[in-house]
Amino acid sequence: MVERKGGQKLLIMKTKGGEIPILLSAAKGYKEMTRYLYSQTPLEAFVDKNSHTGVLLLARCITAEIFDVALSLIHRIPHLPLTHESDDGLRPLYALAHMPSAFPSGTGFGRLQQLIYDTLRLERLEVQNFRRVRVNLFGISIDYCGKSIGIVADDTEVEGLRVAQEEHQFKTSITDLKSSSIITQSISSIVSLGRLCELALNFPPIRLLGRVLIFVYLLFQNHILLKFSAGIREIYQQKKTHLVVLEILNCMCDRVSEYEESQLREASAYDAMLQAAKFGIIEFIDKMRKTNPDLLWAIDRNKRGIFSHAILNRRKDVFRLINSLNGRKEIIRCSADVFGNTLLHLAAYLGPSSDLDKRAGAALQMQRELQWFKVVEEIVHPKCKEEKNGDGKKPREIFSESHGEMLKAGEKWAKDTASSFTLVGTLIITIMFAAAFSVPGGSNQDTGVPIFFRDQIFTLFIIADAVSLFTSSTSVLLFIGILTSRYAQKDFLKTLPLKLLCGLVALFSSVVSMMVAFCASLAMMLQGNQRLVIAAMSLGTIPVIVLVPSQLRLFLEIFNSTMHARYIKGRKPSL
């Protein structure tokens, strides 16, 4: 229809509502049609009065995840206003703050997926603006003419190998430590080492080797990993999307940096910051606060700011930004909303289901809630711990009321889990106790000494039997301790998880030792038939292979949440 004579007029023909075809296509989420119509529609259609059509298209493309068109549009119209509200009630900044999955922080990857994500290489962003325009992006001047936005691999780029470029940042971060002569000498040594590394990396053979290694890796990535693995290909596409979205955010921040207070409100910049805090989009908040530090102090009509929403929605990365406030942290510590709720009151309310579902079992969910409450308690003003809100309730009272059902569910989960493991441990105790007095090959009837007493394999059998008996007994006692616990709130923080963790370790050890004792017993009884012994030993590994992986996730989850929980400082928390 477009290619026929006079068909170009269809592209700018408006409906009764004043919308052209590309706006309707973007509203329906038709990605391919939107890209085609965008490549054919003249630029003048987007820069009408107040650029209403352009702003509406930008907001709709962001909402429909047509990010390549959105980035191209914001580059083609350098002064596209972000202050106009679209007919959908969304301004571009606010629409972007509603897209957590479009940012790296919203992927929700596991450890293996995150490792793959970090390993995949995206070399350069190529913005194809559908018109021949020369724009400088990321310091690279590109002649754009095409229909999409893609990632172009640069096989000769080896700047990533130049670790000496971090020298300036390192020296800046340790300026305050230079009062010590020992530290100063260490710094000088490290800087000298960095310069030596820089010289080594600039040595032509090493640079050539770097290019070759990158070229080989890109060939392996593009022609093997991405072609034969759908999962890796999906992660790669997500990483491409994240790169495009971050560039859209950079472009918007460049516009926002020129806005005054009234324009920031018209652009919904403050509301966008609050929405980003609810969704935990740390990239959005960090970039916007660097553009304009005042945006970090956005509040809604209930006088709740970014950190209030971060606490309510359990967004640890956003909450951790409180350390960057320096002297203004005291304002946050004592803040309260219109209902009289301090930050500790907000932390006492039950967290969202999307956060709680990350933990297996109500007991670990209760542990997470207690940990979150404790860490907020550490940063608020001491008077907030006993302060009452508008309803006359203290933070601890709110926590007990809102987590009453979870406490009961956690008790039931812990008892059911401990009962199941107690049954397994009791069975192992019975078997290994009997095996200790009915040793393989029997005993000498005159002396009572086992026939294989001097055999080394018999020694292995006795040791494995004893270890299995003692560890299974220990695990049963630990699980009985869980069953007889009083199940107070504070027990879920450390006591119950540690008992369950130690009980699982003891149970795993008893199962492994039992299989070792079984294999040793067969080896003594079937000494003349090695094939049968090997086959039996292979079958003996099945219980270990079944038990350990099935409970490994639970074990790691308890271990990480109990032993390696970090919230504000240190490593990334396992909340």
Question: What pLDDT digit, counting tens, does each position of 12-42 carry?
Answer: 888 888 889 999 999 999 999 999 999 888 8
**Looking at residue 73, which CATH number applies to its domain?**
1.25.40
Q: Which residues pair with 151 in a beta bridge?
A: 125
Both structure tokens of 522: 């067969």
Residue 175 has pLDDT above 50, yes or no: no
| pLDDT of res. 543 | 75
Residues 380 and 343: beta-carbon distance below 8 Å: yes
**355 — pLDDT class (breaks 50, 70, 90):** confident
The three-class DSSP label of residue 442 is coil
In a domain, 279, yes or no: yes
- Final residue of a domain: which of 261, 279, 297? 297
Q: What is the pTM of this model?
A: 0.76
Percent of the residues in the chain that have a pLDDT greater than 90, as a whole number: 29
The domain tally of the chain equals 2
- Final residue of a domain: which of 297, 313, 342? 297
Percent of the residues in the chain that have a pLDDT greater than 70, as a whole number: 79
User: pLDDT by residue (tens digit) across 194-216?
Assistant: 566 666 666 677 777 777 787 78
- 105 and 239 both lie in a single domain: yes
User: pLDDT by residue (tens digit) across 46-103?
Assistant: 887 778 888 889 999 999 999 999 999 988 887 888 876 655 567 889 999 989 999 9
| pLDDT of res. 525 | 74
Task: Tell me phi and psi for residue 30, to 5 degrees.
Answer: -80, 95
**446 — pLDDT class (breaks 50, 70, 90):** low
| pLDDT of res. 454 | 64
- Final residue of a domain: which of 297, 326, 341? 297
In a domain, 402, yes or no: no
Residue 276 has pLDDT above 90, yes or no: yes
In a domain, 365, yes or no: no
Both structure tokens of 459: 């020694």
Residue 251 has pLDDT above 80, yes or no: yes
In a domain, 382, yes or no: no
In a domain, 109, yes or no: yes
Mean pLDDT computed over 407-414: 92
- 431 and 289 both lie in a single domain: no
- Long-range pairs of 195-199 with CB within 8 A, sequence gap ≥ 24: 195/164, 195/167, 197/163, 197/164, 198/162, 198/163, 198/164
Residue 486 has pLDDT above 60, yes or no: yes
User: pLDDT by residue (tens digit) across 98-118?
Assistant: 899 999 988 888 788 888 888
| pLDDT of res. 17 | 81
Both structure tokens of 265: 């409100």
In a domain, 347, yes or no: no
| pLDDT of res. 443 | 58
Domain range holding 447?
413-568
In a domain, 236, yes or no: yes
SS3 of 141-192: EEEECCCCEEEECCCCCCHHHCHHHHHHHHHHHCHHHCCCHHHHHHHHHHHH
| pLDDT of res. 211 | 75
